[in-house]
Amino acid sequence: MKNRTILWIFLAFVVGFALPVCSCVGTGFLTVGALSRMAGDPTAATLGTGDAVAVLYLSGTISSDVTAYTTEGITPERVSDLLERAADPTIKAVVVRVNSPGGSVVASDEIYHRLLEFDKPVVIWMSEMAASGGYYISCGGDYVFAHPDTLTGSIGVISQFINAEELMKKIGVDAVVITSGPRKDIGSPFREMTEEEQALWREIIDEVYDNFVEVVAQARDLPVEEVRELADGSIYTGRQALELGLVDQVGTLDDAVAKAAELGGIEGKPRVIELKPTPTFSELMLGFQSRSVVPTLEEILNWAGVPALEFRFLAP
């Protein structure tokens, strides 16, 4: 009788707890496996018949890497992955749908070169916004469309530094910084930047800005000085950008697809394939981790204490 009672308790445990847990774990691994295969599976670009135009979706801030599970955000790695999937021989041209306020200077330049070097016609279509770094990467296209109400332009470079010196005094926190030289802690949030330090950083900003202007002038076949007059950080609508020579045409995504088909030598209506970033295995696993959306004090201080150059439009 005692043994039978133990057996019933064991069976109740299996049915009531172990099976649901195993089911959840199994489902999780199946999901991970499926999404992992989707991330690297090019078969989506081979469905159907006939020549095609691929539409690549680039949305979010531009950065060198993504540290959380999300399909938002534009990185060189994600762009390379999409371009590899667009290498399918039935795809004759691509439309890159850009919706970005910009971001990292280095990542923007990497993406610009990858689009520029792609061996098929590349048509850019600017969605809600293609500003600053978003415009920079758009210069890698062979032909640039903008929606009439797109926000674009914002050609320039920005760096932001937090000065928390007075706040630190108020809360009674004193920072001790030991450096190997007087310029080692330029941009430190624990003190105000000197005029000399600001001048040094200005030289860096100007150098990167000059490169941005050169890229735009070359892409748009405009005189450098004319681009400089436009490149004061001003934001433009798609209509204004057309008048200024910053885009080739205003229109819809369908218009951009039709132009890509023309450049790719496709006769008649093309087959359209949408290619969107898919989370990698590691990004998916990060998504399962519980994490507060509020940054920690350590993260805030790390961000504030690291000088950065950005092609970014700061929306109000």
Could you read off the pLDDT of 119-131 as tens digits, one per residue? 999 999 999 999 9
pLDDT of residue 305: 54
Q: What is the pTM of this model?
A: 0.79
pLDDT score at 29: 45
Q: Look at strands 102-104 and 271-275 and give their pairing.
A: unpaired
**Residue range 15-33: average pLDDT?**
47
Q: Sorting pLDDT into bands at 50, 70 and 90, what band is 164?
A: confident
Which of the two residues, 14 and 216, has the higher pLDDT score? 216
- Reported as a single tens digit per residue, the pLDDT across 29-48 is 444 444 444 444 443 444 55
Tell me whether strands 235-237 and 151-153 are parallel, antiparallel or unpaired. antiparallel
Q: How many residues does the chain have?
A: 316
- Is the pLDDT reported for residue 139 higher than 50? yes
Region 291-299 average pLDDT: 51
Cβ atoms of residues 71 and 29 within 8 Å: no
Q: Which of 184, 234, 269, 282 is catalytic?
A: 184
Task: Note if 184 is an active site residue.
Answer: yes
Range of lowest pLDDT (131-145, 196-210, 214-228, 293-307): 293-307
Q: How far apart are CA 111 and CA 269, in angstroms?
A: 29
Q: What pLDDT score does 312 carry? A: 75
Position 190 scores a pLDDT of 84
Closest CA to 314 of 57, 64, 74, 103: 103
Give the pLDDT of residue 137.
98
Comparing 52-56, 161-165, 213-217, which segment has the lowest mean pLDDT? Answer: 161-165
In this prediction, residue 163 carries a pLDDT of 85
Radius of gyration of the chain (CA): 25
Among candidate residues 132, 138, 154, 188, the one labeled active-site is 132
E-assigned strands of the chain? 52-59, 91-100, 102-104, 122-131, 143-146, 151-153, 235-237, 249-250, 271-275, 310-312
pLDDT at 89: 94
Round to whole Å and give the CA distance between 97 and 125.
5
| pLDDT (mean) for 172-192 | 86
Q: With bands split at pLDDT 50, 70 and 90, how would you rate the model's confidence at 27? A: very low
Tell me the pLDDT of the chain averaged across its residues: 81
Residue 265, pLDDT above cutoff 60: yes
